[in-house]
Amino acid sequence: MDKNQNMTHFGYRQVPTEQKVQHVAKVFHSVASRYDLMNDLMSMGIHRIWKRFTIEMSGVRKGHRVLDIAGGTGDLTMQFSRLVGETGTVVLADINESMLKVGRDRLIDRGFGSNIEYVQANAECLPFPDNYFDCITIAFGLRNVTHKDKALASMARVLKPGGRLLVLEFSKPDNPVFSKVYDAYSFTALPLMGTLIAGDSESYRYLAESIRMHPDQETLKGMMEDAGLVRCKYYNMTGGIVALHMGIKA
């Protein structure tokens, strides 16, 4: 067997495929406690608007069942919990125990609870029945998944026919000049902020690298179509730094 077949990218580094999960887990164990603060600083607060647009496009209403994969500290879950009301359910899933714990504590502290379930799960093999959710979101999580195609297929499986998958993820800026500025910011300011605020520059260097290794808008759209989703489209935000991909299960 070709040696490269067992390797995958972890930022710009190549690591054995089976070890990527541990590497990603290490990053998120390290940043979990400062995750929200760093998000606000790095995006200058705009991540809240990116997430708000995701909520707007979700079409989630009272009584719906929603899965928030890689839900981290629960930003989207909080909004979904209000939208689905007492008759609906939101499942906050994350592969990382530390992130899930921070998210659960934060939501409970803010009085959320009765309609939220917490599940530690790998997006590649979701532990839910077929045709189960009205809406699935994965915000800033897909690029950390080792086998993205498997994860998308798994999400499509647990989605109800007519249900929506929304992938909010860093993407490729559409303007070359803007792209240069963004590169300079990502590879200098992010690790510096990581060192000063979270005491961890490596994790934030990985963040910048993993964004560059993530499929661009058209490639990801194609991957969603390959997973069996239809009417796939994407919305570029902030010049393409972030894109929201949406697909419907036929």
Dihedral angle computed from the Cα positions of residues 139, 106, 44 and 202, in that order, rounded to the nearest 10 degrees: -70
59 binds other proteins (CB under 8 A): yes
Please name the residue that has the structure tokens 């195609």.
Answer: 149
In angstroms, give the least distance from the CB of 118 to other proteins.
Answer: 23
The answer to whether 99 and 72 have CB atoms below 8 angstroms apart is: yes
The answer to whether 83 and 60 have CB atoms below 8 angstroms apart is: yes
Tell me the window of 8-16, 95-103, 115-123, 231-239 that interacts with other proteins (CB under 8 A). Answer: 231-239
Residue 117: phi and psi, rounded to 5, are -115, 150
Output 76 or 121, the one with its CB closest to other proteins. 76
Any residues with CB less than 8 A from the CB of 202 and at least 6 apart, and which? 191, 194
Please name the residue that has the structure tokens 């990053």.
Answer: 27
Name residues contacting other proteins, limited to 27-56 (CB under 8 A): 46, 49-50, 52-53, 56
Output 83 or 91, the one with its CB closest to other proteins. 83
61 binds other proteins (CB under 8 A): yes
Output 49 or 213, the one with its CB closest to other proteins. 49
> Residue 47 is which amino acid?
H
233 binds other proteins (CB under 8 A): no
Please name the residue that has the structure tokens 């490729």.
Answer: 172
In angstroms, give the least distance from the CB of 63 to other proteins.
Answer: 9
In angstroms, give the least distance from the CB of 112 to other proteins.
Answer: 12
Question: Which member of 13, 82, 110, 233 binds other proteins (CB under 8 A)?
Answer: 82
231 binds other proteins (CB under 8 A): no
In angstroms, give the least distance from the CB of 58 to other proteins.
Answer: 10
Output 31 or 229, the one with its CB closest to other proteins. 229
In angstroms, give the least distance from the CB of 52 to other proteins.
Answer: 5
* CA 135 remoteness from chain centre: 14
Question: Which member of 16, 37, 62, 127 binds other proteins (CB under 8 A)?
Answer: 62
Q: Which long-range contacts (CB under 8 A, 24 or more apart) does 75-79 make?
A: 75/36, 75/48, 75/51, 75/139, 76/51, 76/137, 76/139, 77/103, 77/107, 77/112, 77/116, 78/107, 78/110, 78/112, 79/51, 79/52, 79/55
Question: Which member of 25, 119, 193, 237 binds other proteins (CB under 8 A)?
Answer: 237
Output 50 or 118, the one with its CB closest to other proteins. 50
Interface residues toward other proteins, by CB under 8 A: 46, 49-50, 52-53, 56-57, 59, 61-62, 82-83, 85, 235-238, 244
